[in-house]
């Protein structure tokens, strides 16, 4: 290094420049990039499937995106998070006191095909929730005002007013957080040691009705590492909650309802629910509508969770949705139908088996659940008739 | 250490160790073209470098953030056709960033504004002391002298002294020989030496 270089290097060392990267910008740009990336991939896919694509106009996809956003809203409202010795008691205490919580939820669809959906959650008191997927689907809900925004990457966003839900104190993610905070102080049994993601953990098991919760705690630090939920009556309907952190600093911008720059607004939707519409009949009507609105005449792949938004968008892109039907889609019907399943009590042991089943397929149960206070199950068949069966008569 | 779950949409903080002793990942590029998760990882591995380069060229973090956004959004547009490893990817990002910074300076006339402002500093400060904070004072000097260089020279000096790239690496970025890069760097430094001396003399005069 010569004299000039040394001299300038010394000077540069003495420069006071605010050059530290701001994670908020990095995060915001990450969202934009993922949206752009998804759009680019979509274009590539579209070019390779041009034959199929000709049947679907761009404007229709936009409509699907709007519908998907509504479904995502229903999905976020339907999020179920119920988790549930000394280390265990301390973790429970930490959950109860937490002002913020972040975690990743890996959901296995209750259709037995082993597929999983990974969603990141961030919750901040008194009522802010954000969910996001790695490919850019984002929902932000402010339950203090009942406002919500749902963002479908590349395609746009939808704003929703959830005030009517808020007023009547419906169940949803906030109740789920509360349920997490209401974990029993003592576990039912110890599960022994297990290594999770390179961490030696001690396990504890809690059984609450149909639901069995395994809680895994770092043996050295006492930190909560993983929560697993399994439903006895629905073997495929498992959830793994990991990367859990309490009281991390969450910037307010993460819960901003301001739409990202450059994205188009879909129709603003005012989703309302006074409880009367979330019925089995509404659910059946929605199943009928869905089967009539896709080219295969099959029932929806899933009936709960944010993943339905993503699936719907993909189906639209693949030309599997009938454009005319979707242009006239009733967001309120979808919303209430999904609320019906999401608000079923946990001991209802509900199960969905309609993925890929064509409407009117004979003798094929697609959904069953046990209404509150009932000894029998209500079973919906592919011809959309309903029968009452005892537990031992249910499909295996 | 548990990974931050907020990989999308949240304040995932980059693990500093991921960048220190930076090693290029040979498998990253292929996977990143089809996997949004890997694509995100690639972005996070290079964000700080691109932002650093932009802010050291522009001396304004807000402008640097805007240009950084442009750089990565431009990258997405051409990513499918990009061929090469992660090292070539970084060089490509630097080229995009150099063009974006130059374009920013040209279009917004910010450079002229800054230069005009800097030119006014001595007269505005006449009779006053130069900035009491030496670090701030050096900041002003470096900004002043850097902006007197041609854009290409600014880019080379920034990469060498702020981003700590070797001249061979700088040569790779611009597709020139290492000898040419060294030669251009030397010329730029000679100009800088002259301007720094001049700026310091002015500073001393102001003190007197």
Min mean pLDDT across A6-20, A74-88, A241-255, A327-341 is at A74-88
CA proximity to B69, closest of A140, A157, A24: A24
* B68 → closest Cβ in A29, A34, A44: A29
Q: Residue A145: inside a domain, yes or no?
A: yes
Mapped onto helix, strand or coil, the DSSP state of residue A49 is coil
Q: Which residues of A touch B193 (CB under 8 A)?
A: 4, 7-8
CB within 8 Å of A63: residues ≥ 6 apart: A323, A326, A327, A329
Q: Residue A64: inside a domain, yes or no?
A: no
CA distance readout (Å), A352 to A69, A94, A192, A356: 22, 35, 33, 11
CB within 8 Å of B78: residues ≥ 6 apart: none
Q: Residue A291: inside a domain, yes or no?
A: no
Q: Could you give the percent of chain A with pLDDT greater than 90?
A: 11
Cα(B63)–Cα(B99) distance, rounded to whole angstroms? 14
Interface test with B, best of A7, A13, A14 (most B CBs within 10 A): A14
According to the model, what pLDDT value does residue A166 have?
Answer: 40
- With b for 16 or more beta-carbon neighbours within 10 A and e for fewer, the A279-290 pattern comes to ebebbbbbbebb
Name all domains of chain B by residue range, CATH numbers in brackets.
Answer: 21-108 (1.10.1740.10), 109-208 (1.10.10.10)
Contact by Cβ (8 Å): A13, B135 = no
Mapped onto helix, strand or coil, the DSSP state of residue B184 is helix
- Which residue in chain B has the smallest CA separation from A37? B76
Residue A123 structure tokens: 């919750």
Put simply, whether A243 touches B (Cβ < 8 Å) is yes
* A18 → closest Cβ in B2, B61, B76: B61
> Which one has a higher pLDDT value, A44 or B187?
B187
Interface test with A, best of B7, B8, B37, B199 (most A CBs within 10 A): B8
A171 - beta bridge partners?
Answer: none
Interface test with B, best of A13, A18, A30 (most B CBs within 10 A): A30
pLDDT in tens, A274-298: 667 778 999 999 999 889 988 889 9
Put simply, whether B132 touches A (Cβ < 8 Å) is no
Contact by Cβ (8 Å): B162, A12 = yes
Domain holding A179, by residue range, is 75-255
pLDDT of A101 above 90 = no
Q: Looking at CA atoms only, how far is residue B51 from chain A in angstroms? A: 7
CB within 8 Å of A187: residues ≥ 6 apart: A85, A88, A204, A205, A206, A215
pLDDT of A118 above 50 = yes
CB contact under 8 A, B43 and A30: yes
Q: How many domains does chain A have?
A: 1
> Domain holding A112: CATH number?
2.50.20.20
pLDDT in tens, A194-219: 998 888 998 888 876 666 778 888 88
DSSP, res B22: -
Whole-structure pTM value: 0.45
Q: Residue A168: inside a domain, yes or no?
A: yes
User: Of the spans A64-73, A156-165, A303-312, A379-388, which averages the highest pLDDT?
Assistant: A379-388
Q: Residue A128: inside a domain, yes or no?
A: yes
Contact by Cβ (8 Å): A384, A358 = no
Q: ipTM of the predicted structure?
A: 0.74
Q: Residue A61: inside a domain, yes or no?
A: no
Q: Which residues of B touch A29 (CB under 8 A)?
A: 43, 47, 68-69, 72
Put simply, whether B194 touches A (Cβ < 8 Å) is no
According to the model, what pLDDT value does residue A62 have?
Answer: 44
* B138 → closest Cβ in A4, A14, A103: A14
Cα(A131)–Cα(A141) distance, rounded to whole angstroms? 9
pLDDT (tens, 9 = 90+) of chain B, 208 residues, equals: 333 222 222 222 233 333 334 567 777 888 888 777 788 889 989 999 999 999 999 888 899 999 999 999 999 888 888 888 888 999 999 999 999 998 888 776 544 555 555 555 444 443 344 444 555 667 777 888 888 888 899 999 999 988 888 889 999 999 899 999 999 999 998 888 888 777 666 654 444 3
- Alpha carbon B177 to chain centroid, angstroms: 21
DSSP per residue, A183-208: --SS-SEEEEEEEETTEEEEEEEEEE
Q: Residue A153: inside a domain, yes or no?
A: yes
């Amino acid at each position: 290094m010569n004299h000039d270089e040394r001299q300038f290097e010394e000077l540069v060392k003495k420069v006071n420049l605010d050059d530290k990267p701001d994670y908020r910008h990095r995060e915001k740009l990450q969202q934009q990039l993922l949206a752009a990336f998804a759009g680019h991939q979509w274009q590539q896919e579209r070019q390779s499937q041009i034959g199929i694509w000709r049947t679907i106009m761009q404007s229709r996809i936009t409509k699907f995106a709007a519908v998907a956003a509504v479904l995502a809203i229903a999905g976020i409202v339907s999020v179920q998070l119920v988790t549930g010795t000394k280390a265990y008691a301390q973790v429970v205490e930490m959950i109860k006191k937490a002002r913020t919580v972040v975690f990743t939820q890996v959901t296995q669809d209750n259709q037995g095909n082993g597929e999983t959906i990974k969603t990141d959650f961030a919750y901040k008191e008194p009522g802010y929730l954000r969910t996001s997927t790695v490919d850019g689907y984002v929902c932000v809900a402010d339950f203090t005002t009942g406002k919500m925004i749902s963002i479908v990457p590349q395609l746009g966003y939808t704003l929703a007013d959830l005030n009517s839900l808020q007023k009547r104190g419906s169940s949803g993610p906030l109740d789920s957080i509360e349920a997490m905070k209401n974990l029993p102080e003592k576990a039912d049994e110890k599960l022994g040691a297990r290594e999770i993601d390179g961490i030696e953990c001690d396990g504890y098991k809690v059984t609450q009705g149909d639901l069995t919760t395994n809680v895994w705690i770092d043996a050295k630090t006492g930190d909560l590492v993983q929560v697993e939920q399994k439903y006895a009556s629905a073997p495929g309907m498992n959830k793994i909650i990991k990367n859990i952190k309490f009281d991390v600093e969450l910037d307010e911008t993460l819960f901003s309802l301001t739409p990202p720059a450059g994205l188009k607004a879909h129709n603003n939707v005012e989703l309302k629910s006074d409880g009367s519409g979330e019925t089995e009949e509404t659910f059946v009507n929605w199943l009928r509508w869905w089967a009539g609105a896709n080219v295969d005449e099959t029932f929806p792949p899933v009936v709960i969770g944010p993943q339905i938004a993503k699936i719907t968008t993909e189906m639209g892109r693949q030309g599997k949705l009938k454009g005319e039907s979707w242009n006239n889609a009733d967001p309120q019907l979808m919303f209430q139908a999904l609320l019906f399943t999401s608000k079923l009590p946990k001991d209802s042991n509900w199960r969905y088996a309609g993925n890929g089943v064509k409407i009117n397929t004979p003798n094929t149960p697609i959904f069953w659940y046990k209404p509150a206070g009932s000894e029998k199950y209500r079973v919906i068949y592919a011809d959309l008739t309903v029968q009452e069966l005892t537990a031992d008569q249910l499909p295996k | 250490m548990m990974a931050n779950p907020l990989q999308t949409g949240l304040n995932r903080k980059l693990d500093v160790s991921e960048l220190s002793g930076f090693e290029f990942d040979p498998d990253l590029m292929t996977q990143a073209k089809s996997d949004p998760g890997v694509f995100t990882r690639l972005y996070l591995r290079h964000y700080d470098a691109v932002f650093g380069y932009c802010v050291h060229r522009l001396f304004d973090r807000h402008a640097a953030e805007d240009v950084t956004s442009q750089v990565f959004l431009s990258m997405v547009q051409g990513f499918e056709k990009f061929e090469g490893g992660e090292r070539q990817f970084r060089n490509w990002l630097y080229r995009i960033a150099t063009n974006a910074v130059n374009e920013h300076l040209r279009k917004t006339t910010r450079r002229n504004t800054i230069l005009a402002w800097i030119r006014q500093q001595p007269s505005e400060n006449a009779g006053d002391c130069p900035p009491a904070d030496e670090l701030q004072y050096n900041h002003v000097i470096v900004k002043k002298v850097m902006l007197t260089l041609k854009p290409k020279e600014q880019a080379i000096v920034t990469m060498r002294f702020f981003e700590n790239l070797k001249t061979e690496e700088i040569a790779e970025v611009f597709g020139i020989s290492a000898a040419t890069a060294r030669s251009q760097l030397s010329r730029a430094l000679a100009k800088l030496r002259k301007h720094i001396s001049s700026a310091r003399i002015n500073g001393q005069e102001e003190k007197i």
